[in-house]
Structure formats: structure tokens, C-alpha cells
């Protein structure tokens, strides 16, 4: 098979593309990939000089390094097998990462730094963004600048996972017994998740909640407290979930009188080694159950439904946003 080619691009210089490749190379080679790193669109070049980009790529573990001049010649600075030509060596690679070339026909990963440009270019073929931004105008996978492990996992999963391979059930060991995943080797990064759900009820019930005349008290205030408590207790409620040091919980309610329902949203944030999707979903569930509990004396026909993950950020899989 020919090597996979990915261009790492940015709107202009100074975004740290070289540093990102430098951090990415050890993660990719640790997965068993043979990786070449090339410097694209070079007009003046020096090979193997300490401190230069090709030297840094070689030190980071690239099997082959080089540059691409305006005439598209490949200039190799590190080809360990002296018996093969540079171009032949490239054909043996699993992956070639080229720094630069926004007009490349190959898949692209764009680097965006807010201090330089807050709006990504997103040329055709862009598959992910690496940035210090919290979110993007389009739902592409988004990785933080220091999340080389997550970006490497994304590349491995997208281009080198055997076709038809089922997702790994990581909560089971080789004997098929349940286990808690070991996250001790993961990097601590910003994680965020937003989940939502709905509880339908009789119009009269919704009116009493809105007016604050339910006998048990202020329904939405109690439900908000319940959601926050449930988020913090998720590691005790869900068998394989990790106890987490949550940094923020936001709960919102929307009273929809037209459909006679309350829409519940819970956003959870932390800086840690695992995501907070389960915490957000658990918070929504607890809020909905609390509303039911406080109103069941007047409306036993209430229906809780459509609890789902809307968005998550951070981690190996990057930025996910549900298309409603």
C-alpha cells in the first residue's frame, strides 16, 4: 500500500507546526508506524543542522526526514538504510507528514493559534484542527495544542484501523471480565461535555412548576442541586466510571409550554485524564428524576425521554457535536 500523506497547515508561520510534529512523531512511532516528516514549500534549506526543523524531526524519531522545494524535489536528511535511495525509502513508509502546503490534495490538519488567527482557513480536505480555541465554527475534531497523544490516536484510528474492525470494548479484559480502564499514562487535558434530556408533563403541572406552587417546593432549584450532586457522584453510581475532580457544572432548564415539557441541559468541565460524558448524562438523568419525584403526586403520567450527549471536547477523539 502507498503511504498515507497528511499536510499540517496553518494560515501563517509562527503557529508551532514544527513543535506539534515533533511531539506527534514519538506517539505515532510508539504505535508501530514508520513515519517520514518533510518540510514543505522550502526556498532556502540546510539539512541535519542542529536546531533546524529536519534535525528536530529526526531527533523526534522520524524514519525519514526531508524538505520539498518549489520544484518539488525531496531532499532527504535521514535515511538509515544506506542501500536504498531516499525516494524508495519514502515508499516504504506508513505515513508521511508534510509541514505546509495549504493547496495539497491530501488530507490536512490545520493549526490555529488564537493570538495569530481566531478563524481557521479550513481548506478542502481538512480533517481536524489543533488549537488553543475552545470551539470551532464547524464540527470538526478539535485537539488542544498539547494533546499529541489524542491526535496520534485520531490518525491511527482514521487511516490505519483495519476496515470492518469493531470498536474496542475497553471495559473488558482479555478474559471478558469487566475492568476499570487504566488512565494513569494519559495526559491531563481540558475536557468538557454537554448532555440534554426532556420531561413531558400535563400543561397544568408545567404551569404549577413555573408559578412555584408545587407543594414540595421550588422544583427547578431542587432539580439543579440534584444534577450537580449526581455529577459529583457519577464515579460511585456507574461501576466503571472514574471518580473525577470536577471543576465546573452548569445546569439549564427551558420550559416549553407549546409541547408541555421541560428541556434539561447539563455542561460539565474538568482538567483531567478522562472525559465527562457520563457525568453530564448522569446530571441530566438526576434532574429529570427529581422533577418527576417532586411532581408525581399531581402527575404520574410524566415521561422522561431523549437523554443524549450533545457535545464533547478534549481527549483522543477530539471534538464531537451531535447533529440533531
Residue ending a domain, choose from 159, 181, 199: 159
- Residue 149 belongs to a domain with what CATH number? 3.40.50.300
Confidence of residue 165 (pLDDT cuts 50, 70, 90): low
Residues 17 and 76 reside in one and the same domain: yes
Looking at the predicted structure, is the pLDDT value of residue 45 above 60?
A: no
* Beta bridge pairs of residue 36: 64, 96
**First CA to last CA distance, the chain:** 38
Residue ending a domain, choose from 140, 159, 178: 159
Residues 154 and 195 reside in one and the same domain: no
- Whether residue 178 lies inside any domain: the answer is no
The pLDDT value recorded for residue 79 is 45
Residues 155 and 227 reside in one and the same domain: no
- Residue 227 belongs to a domain with what CATH number? 3.30.70.640
The pLDDT value recorded for residue 282 is 96
At 132-164, the pLDDT tens digits run 887 776 678 888 888 888 888 889 888 887 665
Residues 151 and 211 reside in one and the same domain: no
- Whether residue 180 lies inside any domain: the answer is no
Average pLDDT over residues 29-41: 84
At 298-312, the pLDDT tens digits run 999 999 999 999 999
Which residue, chain included where needed, has cell 404551569? 207
**3-class DSSP state for residue 189?**
strand
Residues 288 and 149 reside in one and the same domain: no
- Whether residue 164 lies inside any domain: the answer is no
Average pLDDT, the chain: 83
CA dist., res. 287 & res. 265, Å (int) = 9
- The b/e string for 95-106 (b: 16+ C-beta within 10 A; e otherwise) is bbbbbbbbebee
Residues 24 and 155 reside in one and the same domain: yes
* 101, 132, 252, 293: the active-site residue: 293
pTM of the model: 0.55
Residues 10 and 150 reside in one and the same domain: yes
Residues 153 and 193 reside in one and the same domain: no
CA dist., res. 221 & res. 18, Å (int) = 50
Looking at the predicted structure, is the pLDDT value of residue 112 above 70?
A: yes
Note if 293 is an active site residue.
yes
Residues 152 and 195 reside in one and the same domain: no
DSSP 244: -
Number of domains the chain is built from: 2
Residues 300, 289 contacting (CB under 8 angstroms): no
The pLDDT value recorded for residue 44 is 54
Residue ending a domain, choose from 143, 159, 175: 159
Instruction: Tell me which H or E stretch contains 261.
Output: strand 261-272
Instruction: Tell me which H or E stretch contains 37.
Output: strand 35-39
Residues 12 and 154 reside in one and the same domain: yes
- Whether residue 89 lies inside any domain: the answer is yes
Q: Which residues are within 8 A (CB) of 63 and not within 5 positions of it... i.e. 6 or more apart? A: 29, 34, 35, 36, 78, 80, 89, 93
E-strand stretches of 87-136: 95-99, 108-112, 126-131
Helices (H), the chain: 17-30, 53-59, 86-91, 148-159, 203-211, 219-237, 277-295
Which residue, chain included where needed, has cell 490505519? 160
Confidence of residue 83 (pLDDT cuts 50, 70, 90): very low
- Whether residue 197 lies inside any domain: the answer is yes
Looking at the predicted structure, is the pLDDT value of residue 172 above 80?
A: no
The pLDDT value recorded for residue 315 is 74
Which residue, chain included where needed, has cell 505515532? 28
Residues 33 and 131 reside in one and the same domain: yes
- Whether residue 36 lies inside any domain: the answer is yes
Looking at the predicted structure, is the pLDDT value of residue 72 above 60?
A: no
Which residue, chain included where needed, has cell 453530564? 280
Residues 108, 4 contacting (CB under 8 angstroms): no
The pLDDT value recorded for residue 212 is 93
Looking at the predicted structure, is the pLDDT value of residue 96 above 50?
A: yes
CA dist., res. 51 & res. 58, Å (int) = 11
- Whether residue 17 lies inside any domain: the answer is yes
Residues 271 and 227 reside in one and the same domain: yes
CA dist., res. 278 & res. 62, Å (int) = 38
- Whether residue 292 lies inside any domain: the answer is yes
CA dist., res. 186 & res. 273, Å (int) = 6
Instruction: Show the domain range for 85.
Output: 4-159
Amino acid at each position: 500500500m502507498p503511504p498515507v500523506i497528511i499536510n499540517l497547515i496553518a494560515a501563517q508561520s509562527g503557529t508551532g507546526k514544527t513543535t506539534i510534529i515533533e511531539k506527534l512523531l514519538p506517539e505515532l512511532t510508539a504505535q508501530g508506524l514508520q513515519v517520514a516528516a518533510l518540510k514543505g514549500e522550502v526556498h532556502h534549506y540546510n539539512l541535519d543542522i542542529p536546531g533546524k526543523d529536519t534535525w528536530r524531526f529526526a531527533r523526534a524519531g522520524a524514519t525519514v526526514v526531508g524538505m520539498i522545494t518549489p520544484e518539488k524535489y525531496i531532499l532527504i536528511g535521514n535515511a538509515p538504510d544506506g542501500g536504498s535511495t531516499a525516494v524508495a525509502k519514502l515508499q516504504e513508509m506508513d505515513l508521511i507528514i508534510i509541514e505546509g502546503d495549504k493547496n495539497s490534495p491530501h488530507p490536512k490538519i490545520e493549526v490555529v493559534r488564537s493570538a495569530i488567527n481566531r478563524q481557521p482557513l479550513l481548506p478542502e480536505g481538512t480533517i481536524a484542527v489543533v488549537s488553543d480555541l475552545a470551539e470551532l465554527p464547524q464540527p470538526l475534531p478539535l485537539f488542544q495544542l498539547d494533546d499529541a497523544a489524542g491526535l496520534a490516536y485520531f490518525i491511527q484510528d482514521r487511516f490505519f484501523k483495519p476496515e470492518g474492525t469493531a470498536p474496542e470494548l475497553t471495559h473488558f479484559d482479555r478474559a471478558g471480565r469487566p475492568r476499570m480502564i487504566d488512565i494513569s499514562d494519559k495526559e491531563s487535558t481540558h475536557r468538557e461535555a454537554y448532555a440534554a434530556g426532556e420531561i413531558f408533563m400535563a400543561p397544568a403541572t408545567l404551569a404549577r412548576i413555573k408559578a412555584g406552587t408545587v407543594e414540595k417546593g421550588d422544583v427547578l432549584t431542587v432539580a439543579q442541586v440534584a444534577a450537580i450532586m449526581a455529577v459529583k457522584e457519577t464515579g460511585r453510581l456507574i461501576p466503571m466510571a472514574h471518580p473525577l475532580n470536577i471543576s465546573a457544572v452548569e445546569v439549564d432548564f427551558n420550559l416549553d409550554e407549546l409541547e408541555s415539557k421541560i428541556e434539561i441541559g447539563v455542561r460539565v468541565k474538568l482538567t483531567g485524564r478522562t472525559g465527562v460524558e457520563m457525568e453530564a448524562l448522569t446530571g441530566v438523568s438526576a434532574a429529570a428524576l427529581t422533577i418527576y419525584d417532586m411532581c408525581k403526586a399531581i402527575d404520574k403520567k410524566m415521561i422522561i425521554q431523549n437523554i443524549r450527549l450533545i457535545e464533547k471536547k478534549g481527549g483522543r477523539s477530539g471534538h464531537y457535536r451531535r447533529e440533531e
